[in-house]
Structure 1
């Protein structure tokens, strides 16, 4: 097992639960390899996701884990490997989704150490900033559409909030297998974005009856799959747009007062998607599956079939500003922290 001498690195840490000002720039010791299957990555960029803001606001998943380095998404260069590592070598460019929720250190930092099996080779056609925007949203969209809702070629899908991080990837993944996509958006600019990414129907939900628009699009049948990326009442509002015996998948915990009657009457199969489950519960085989998803997405990206929309790039020390932008609710695509 080899590793460079202990040095310091830049990092942004969460000092306590609360507002974005709880994120503080510090110099910390570089992490070292702990086991033969560990890989140390010199991080070049970290994606910022809504889960980061929720952990910062509500606290980490483990007590006594503060200060904590947030950030599940990372991209960088392998700079040290354990003796049992076989798939990666020093100098390899990688991307991954791991850490950042209090169980292990995240990626708002210069370096991180992760197990070999969570890594994938970075898409060759993307720079590190673009690559860091991919993992969490790509895994989430893939698992929601293909593993949970079992979307098939020729089927129709409604992606709620299609201009968001997960939504804009879900549109494209659905198109890669030959599914037809409708989506909801709030503005004309977002409608233009999702149509460029392959959505057949962009529904301005503030100005339109979404269910009526879907029924018009599907000849009165409803879509085969409804994907809720927002939660709250939107899950309940998705049910009438989905056909009898169709599938509904949600990324959020259903509200306690959700009215399930329409879903029940239509015999809809409902699923929940939480891509963090493998990390939270140490499900190694599921973590390997997620790494394989990233490897397949890398192929799609390099073939030009999957694009990632990065709306803003900020330096690492401005992580608090990135959290503010996400919590404003008006962002499209992904925000990324650049690490130099």
Structure 2
């Protein structure tokens, strides 16, 4: 089978198309999936640059997100049968178990039935960003109806689904964008107010929108500087969540005066630390999001697709920044 493999760390050029044996079932709860599409995420580029996050190490196949068709099942598999369409976020953190490949063998517990309303490309784009946004808003920030929520980079991968999840919970949403096209998408997805961070002062814009109160919840998807600049835009006793390392140089005096609750979100933890209960919780999240997708209440925006052997080009584009929505490898 064809896979994209890295044998050393480096730039996009280290992503190599190679031929590897088709994986075989190794346990009674395993299923073999013919992958139809694989999502491309920032974590893929970081592992390519800095190395795997798991002891399996190199060579490694990247790609946490996958969608495809079940082709074979182990003797104890009860949840799926050959021909079922599935989606999942699993693998891609080290060793051969990644989704930039034509086939994956995976335990049935890590897989969910694909939403019926979308194709394989949209399904493969969705799991990691849905889990990240859901955990950040619901599990970390305890999102509630009527709250005012600031989502940074609202046209990005996590941001554009976070806007929708916040609106579905009855919150009012503002977001930061880089231009009018991204603002149009954010408004379409439910953002009430867009802040062009090139032209507008974040604090002034947020305080004007909230009548001087600040936002109850803010989700940082950008990095340390945005995290720091968001603190003065928060309401007293608010929740500020970041999906990135906020960095060592943090002055938290204002955050303390505001009694902010600061939270870190990394949806990869259940994979990295082998936490079965957390994996089950993420499965429940994916099922709930799948229901929302099938009802037409939630969608994932895919801005561009690439063939498997174009993975390096997808990485180059993602690393340039400012991608709208998601990028996907289309294996069909």
Q: Does the pair score TM above 0.5?
A: yes
Deviations 1:88-125 (A, max 9, x none): 11111000000001056110000001111111111101
- Report the counterpart of residue 128 of structure 1 in structure 2: 120
CA contact (8 A) 1:12 1:108 kept: yes
Query: Once superposed, which parts of structure 1, at least 4 consecutive aligned residues long, lie more than 4 Å away?
Result: none
What's the offset of the Cα at 1:330? 2.1
Match of 1:13 among 5, 10, 24: 5
Matches within 5 A, 1:161-310: 161-310=153-302
- Report the counterpart of residue 96 of structure 1 in structure 2: 88
Match of 1:110 among 98, 102, 115: 102
Matches within 5 A, 1:29-178: 29-63=21-55, 65-102=57-94, 105-178=97-170
**Aligned Cα RMSD in Å?**
1.0
Match of 2:329 among 326, 337, 340: 337
CA contact (8 A) 2:56 2:95 kept: no
Q: How many residues align?
A: 332
- Report the counterpart of residue 304 of structure 2 in structure 1: 312
Aligned mates of 2:54, 2:188 — CA distance in 1: 41
Structure 2 counterpart SS, 1:291: helix
Runs of 5+ consecutive residues of structure 1 not aligned to the other structure: 1-8
Runs of 5+ consecutive residues of structure 2 not aligned to the other structure: none
Structure 1 counterpart SS, 2:236: strand
Deviations 1:18-75 (A, max 9, x none): 0100000011111111111111111000000000000000001235622211000000
Aligned mates of 1:334, 1:129 — CA distance in 2: 10
Aligned mates of 1:259, 1:159 — CA distance in 2: 22
Structure 1 counterpart SS, 2:195: strand
